[in-house]
Amino acid sequence: MLSSSEKCVITRRKSNKDSMIYNFARGLVANGHSVTVCASEEYMPLEKEQNEFEVIYFKSKWRWLFKPYLIPFPLGLRSFVKENINKYDLVIASEIFQMATLLIADICKDKLVVWQELSLHNQKLFKLPSKFWYNFVVSCTSLKNALVIPRSENAKAFIKQYSCNVSDDIVEHGANGEVLIPKEYAGRNFSVVGQLIARKNVDSIVRKFASFVKKEGYSDFVLNIIGEGAERESLERLTEELAIQENVIFRGFLTHQEMAGYLSDSYALLVDTLRDLNMVSIPESIVSGTPVLMNTVPCTAQFVSENGLGIAKENWNEQDIEEMVKNYELFHSNCVKIREQLTNVGCAKKMIDIFIKNKKAN
């Protein structure tokens, strides 16, 4: 899966070049590796594109049962891996609870790394399929001994209950450090990046921003909302009701090249999501040198707090937005110091290092 779906619908883009997996593949290439990306054909771009690595799209089998937006069954993946496994030193699979991971686990053996993002059981059917998978499928198959590299501390704590080979070190998604470049100073801006859908809770951010710009000295600040979705019209109406339509600009969907300038020119990325795991926009913001003001729902909240990359707390408000302005230089400096760890190149290198260390230990 190359992107998140909403209400069981996969949104195909003209290009997949801004997707997290493509950026991670570029990170591997930058570290000197040859890469093949395997994905379901439902995620094929609308236009043909040239990539720095090989990309193969597989048809989905039994789509009525194995939904491509949730747990795709890639027809031909097992045969491809079986025929070509000797050409590869490492196979990275996304999530232990995936058919693709199970299909290739016994072929890959000690070449397999499972990159785990999920930090709780899937809610479908009262969690029963998820609990069956983690408690029985994992323990009775080659998944049991596969090296699992978590993407957050939450994911690590969760998967350690079921797997016996979990890395103590985590590897974040990473962001394209060649495109997302920090500026020395921010303009009088804040940013929101993501789908304009209910669970992103952007209306809450707009209301808090409205209270902020009514404070003395902040009436000229602008909130750039980057993204598209079903909530856009209601959000536009909300800005009119709050009389801040001049302070909020809806930029629509932007490529990373188009987004980079807005993000690096902001005092902070604002996040108040109701349900998310590892939001790609958070490392993108930090790599851009832009601090984050967020709630504690995303798994990266602890990382942001511990490294002084912004503020992570529940029910943040206009006072916290003001704190982001007052403490920008410190937060920004911390983002710049740590950004290399969160670039796609840095994250790819870390994964390879963990893999090599594990092989030597075993």
What confidence score (pLDDT) does residue 276 get?
87
pLDDT at 312: 98
pLDDT mean by block of 10 residues, the chain; 362 residues: 83 90 96 96 92 95 90 95 97 96 95 95 89 94 94 94 95 94 95 95 98 97 96 97 97 95 97 91 97 95 96 98 98 97 96 95 80
* pLDDT tens string 205-263: 999 999 999 999 999 999 999 999 999 999 999 999 999 999 999 999 999 999 999 99
Contacts of 159 (CB under 8 A, 6+ apart): 96, 116, 118, 148, 150, 166
Backbone dihedral angles phi then psi of residue 302, each to the nearest 5 degrees: -60, -40
176-190 residue pLDDT tens: 999 999 999 999 999
In the prediction, which pLDDT does 172 show? 92
pLDDT confidence of residue 126 = 87
pTM (predicted TM-score): 0.90
Burial code (b: 16+ CB inside 10 Å, e: under 16) for 202-226 equals bbbbbbbbbebbeeeebeebbbbbb
Per-residue DSSP letters for 136-165? IIHHHSGGGGSEEEESSHHHHHHHTTT-S-
Instruction: Give the pLDDT of residue 284.
Output: 96
| Residue 272 near residue 293 (C-beta atoms within 8 A) | no
Q: Is 310 helix (H, G, I), strand (E, B) or coil?
A: strand
